[in-house]
Amino acid sequence: MSRTILIVDDDKISLRLLKSYLEKYQYDVRSADDGHSFLAEFEVYKEDLCLVILDVMLPDTDGFTLCQTVRQQSKVPIIMLTASSDDTDRIVGLELGADDYIAKPYNPRELLARIKAVHRRMQLSGPTDKSRYLRFSGFTMDLVERMLTDAEGTQVLLTSMDFNLLKFFAEHAGETLDRTQLMEQTRGRDLGPLDRSLDVQVSRLRQRLNDDGKQPTLIKTVRGSGYVFSTDVTKLADG
* Residues 11 and 120 occupy one common structural domain: yes
pLDDT of residue 189: 52
* Residues 38 and 59 occupy one common structural domain: yes
Mean pLDDT, rounded, of the chain:
86
pLDDT at 30 over 70: yes
pLDDT of residue 124: 56
91 touches 73 (CB < 8 A) = no
* Residues 114 and 211 occupy one common structural domain: no
Q: Among 124, 147, 164, where does a domain finish?
A: 124
Distance CA 171, CA 233 (A): 8
pLDDT of residue 64: 93
Say which CATH number the domain at 84 has. 3.40.50.2300
Q: What domain range includes position 200?
A: 133-236
* Residues 107 and 160 occupy one common structural domain: no
Name the pLDDT band for 186 (thresholds 50, 70, 90): low
185 touches 164 (CB < 8 A) = yes
More confident position, 189 or 160? 160
Cα 104 to chain centroid distance, Å, stands at: 19
Distance CA 119, CA 51 (A): 9
pLDDT of residue 1: 62
* Residues 16 and 111 occupy one common structural domain: yes
pLDDT tens digit sequence for 213-225: 778 999 999 888 8
Distance CA 82, CA 6 (A): 17
pLDDT tens digit sequence for 80-97: 998 876 677 777 887 888
Predicted TM-score (pTM) of this structure: 0.64
* Residues 103 and 176 occupy one common structural domain: no
* Residues 90 and 177 occupy one common structural domain: no
Listed in sequence order, the residues at least 6 apart from 38 whose beta carbon sits closer than 8 Å to its beta carbon are 6, 8, 32, 54, 66
* Residues 81 and 160 occupy one common structural domain: no
pLDDT tens digit sequence for 191-217: 454 457 788 888 989 999 999 777 899
* Residues 116 and 37 occupy one common structural domain: yes
Task: Tell me which DSSP letter residue 158 carries.
Answer: -
* Residues 94 and 173 occupy one common structural domain: no
**In degrees to the nearest 10, what's the CA dihedral of 76, 99, 200, 15?**
-120
More confident position, 225 or 22? 22
